[in-house]
Chain A
């Protein structure tokens, strides 16, 4: 992890308190994971509506409920991670609009409002036409809600590993992966064509996310010394190496293999297994990527 140490200098830190340590813990992992599902399921509902409108049927309300539940998990864990949670209202009354946190909080709040509108249209009014008209607007807002965490991570100047173009792509792939996985589990009565569409999204997003991680893993260290130092934690005997590869296999590689098998055998069970692994693996992948840049001493 020490990249600029010359043998001749033999420089050793003999007194320093390497503040701050882990500041964003597993609560933030859950935050990102739940948000991916909350927005991803809306993307998948939209996809089904466009590609397989006859199959959407009774999925409108359950999908909306899943989105509401997971967005509230996201909000709950966001709140839990604050050291002064009762001051959350400051974000709305003293907003600082250069901060991705502020913009994200406002957009997520609007998103929750729109989700409740969808729930009202599908459950109370039972008006599918109105629901389908409102859905594109919810999808449009779900995109920046998905992306804002990437903006936040890129605002963390201290964490060289989190680069904006890559992180925003990873956020989109995470939403598509978790949304399609959850929809596969939720849409048990979908026909095989619709399930095939969902499995396409799952496999492609897993493939693209894996490619991005591997690109960073191999080429990142060639660009920046801090990235090289951080990636040492997931290479060789690094403390997060096992968890990193466990996440990559569970979230991306195994689901891709299982989807190929499921499509060959038209097996619902294998498809569901792929979906469950993708959901579990995504949390592991997100956690590793969240923690490792925090292990690097800033001083």
Chain B
């Protein structure tokens, strides 16, 4: 079994229900996110469009974070999930530096690395990840990539030619796919980040480690 995620960006409406569900389920502290939805505005008024892209750990088959972790706090589990043992983490932040997707952060409460685990604890109890349950439009599709009859495999088959991963050139083989994604959604270098354009301009971040 190799679990994977697919987000159909045609369906996502940016409600952030997945983000909130993740926060609640995993008790993610203030100023940190295991899953977040990025908004990118495209075009010039009145011809404008807002795109929504949920971003989370890609659970790469060739995960740089797992490779760089000096104490195996980040490790694969049998179902393909890249899991984290926070009691073992020494907080070197090597994984944060290695992850090309910016999916790992230092938890300001525990001072250890943390990230999306595809809700491994829920999956162990045969439940779906919290974000999948919360999505009102079924944009998050989760399942076994090795089972051709699974929802995710069938979705990938039906959308062949329109399935993307983020940063394929990194050779990480992500287990996280997008349907209907474009360059502006998936490539951070394809959109501007201009001062004053952010919907929330004064985001409070908690200190991690005290020296940053």
Contact = CB atoms under 8 A, between A and B. Distances in A.
Nearest to A162: B97
Given A83-B208, A99-B68, A4 B102 contact: no
Contact of A22 (B112, B184, B199, B212): B212
A103 to B, nearest CB: 9
Contacts of A102: 70-71
B37 A96 contact: no
Interface string A73-110: 00000001111110110110011101111100100000
Interface in B24-62: 32-33, 36-44, 50, 55
Contacts of B55: 299
A298 B100 contact: yes
A96 B72 contact: yes
B49 to A, nearest CB: 10
Contact of B184 (A9, A25, A157): A9
Nearest to A96: B72
A102 B94 CA distance: 11
Which of A22, A23, A24, A225 gathers the greatest number of chain B CB atoms within 10 Å?
A23
Contacts of A18: 102, 193
Interface string B173-200: 0000000000110011111111001111
Contacts of B211: 25, 27, 80-81
A155 B170 CA distance: 12
A229 B98 contact: no
Given A157-B172, A225-B189, A19 B50 contact: no
Contact of A95 (B71, B96, B197): B71
Highest count of chain A CB atoms <10 Å: which of B41, B68, B105, B199: B68
Chain A contact residues: helix, strand, loop or mixed? loop
Nearest to B60: A157
A98 B89 contact: no
A14 B189 contact: no
A226 B189 CA distance: 8
Contacts of B148: none
A11 B41 contact: yes
B92 interface: yes
B40 A11 contact: yes
B43 to A, nearest CB: 6
Nearest to A159: B97
Interface in A1-54: 1-5, 9-25, 27
B89 A4 contact: no
Contact of A155 (B67, B112, B190, B199): B67
Contact of B69 (A11, A96, A294): A96
Contacts of B106: 20, 23, 83
Contacts of A294: 97
Contacts of A5: 189-192
Contacts of A83: 90-93, 106, 111-112, 208-209
Contacts of A239: none
A143 interface: no
Contact of A156 (B42, B72, B97): B97
Contacts of B88: 87, 90, 94
A158 interface: yes
B70 A11 contact: no
A4 B90 contact: no
A204 interface: no
B68 A101 contact: yes
Contacts of A81: 92-93, 209, 211
Interface in B58-112: 64, 67-72, 88-94, 96-102, 104-106, 111-112
A231 to B, nearest CB: 13
B203 interface: yes
A297 interface: yes
Contact of B91 (A84, A100, A226): A84
A13 B112 contact: no
Contacts of B39: 13-16
B193 A297 contact: yes
17 contacts: A2-B190, A2-B192, A4-B187, A9-B43, A11-B41, A12-B192, A13-B39, A15-B38, A16-B193, A19-B32, A83-B106, A87-B91, A90-B70, A94-B71, A155-B98, A157-B172, A299-B38
Shortest Cβ-Cβ A-B pairs, 6 listed: A83-B91, A298-B102, A15-B39, A11-B191, A157-B64, A101-B70
